[in-house]
Amino acid sequence: MQTILVTGGAGFIGANFILLARRLQWANIVNLDKLTYASNLENLAEVQADKNYNFIQGDIANFELVTYLLEQYHPDAIINFAAESHVDRSIFSPQEFIQTNVVGTFQLLEASRFYWHKLSFEQQKKFRFLHISTDEVYGSLTPQEQAFREDMPYAPNSPYAASKAASDHFVRAYYHTYGLPTLTTNCSNNYGPMQFPEKLIPLIILNAIDSKPLPIYGDGQNIRDWLYVIDHCQAIYLVLKQGKTGETYNIGGMNEQSNVKVVEKICAILDELVPQPNFHYSSLITFVQDRPGHDRRYAINCHKLSHELGWQPQENFDSGLIKTVKWYLNNISWVNQVRSGSYQKWLKQNYENR
């Protein structure tokens, strides 16, 4: 069985990928995670005793540590999930995004390049460096414009998107300059189990069950394409195994929804699952001041991934959203564990004066 070094594996998408990889015996896993605020080892409780899973706390920007891990575990592939990923936080603290997303990716690429050069010819042919990125690097679409394709120019509008765009360019450069066998995926908005509750869907679920206001930026008509996290993980593994090196693959859920529609759907699900007498959760909806530079619409064209590799999402938005709401309702201990004082401080900082 191959070994994969997963970076950022205690975060939302990375943890879901690791759990799926071990359940389905895709690979042995080495997980390198810095354990920032959005990381949570509770996400990986299922594999803590798994002898084919190893966790190391550390930073992808630590060249010496990454070099040691590559020499120690001899991975056949690296999947780079590690990233600062919340747009609102990037507006408050852009330097953290540059350090992790740009400098960190560069150091990871450098260590991978030296490691790859030491491999045998056959091992070099099999090795892959898969970089996980976002649709936000493409900028914003009007309602009439066609969805993002892989050949569209980058036009990032937030510090987060700019930092991911820079990391994408470094990955591309290492393929073209050094021959490092890289792959890049650009995904749309993920949702599902174990997502840190600063993001829209878990924030709304948890505020609603606590009878707190449900904040929606601006007029609520900003549109996102929603991708269920397990569908995303399946696509990532498919790209890793069958994708063509040097290529980029867009991954989307083909589920465009306005923010206000997402919130209304969550409220309707909660009305059914956790009804309260003479009360509808939608009465908690509160429109707040929009964030700076808020992109109007994202949409992903997945034709390349579908046509070349045969991938299709298994969940539509309604089915995935019901699963997601039920997961949060059934995992209140997890919720209480992640909603620490620092999380409450962030909510106050970001929403109190809107």
- Active site positions, annotated: 135-136, 160
Cα Rg, the chain, nearest whole Å: 20
C-alpha to C-alpha distance for 117 and 301, rounded to whole angstroms: 35
- What are the distances in angstroms from CA 28 to CA 183, 222, 277? 20, 40, 50
Give the contacts of 109 (CB within 8 A, at least 6 positions apart): 129, 170, 171, 174, 180
DSSP 134: E
- The sign of the torsion formed by the CA atoms of 203, 191, 4, 20 equals positive
CA distance 80 to 218: 33
Q: Which value, to the nearest 10 degrees, does the dihedral of the CA atoms of residues 109, 92, 228, 239 take?
A: -10
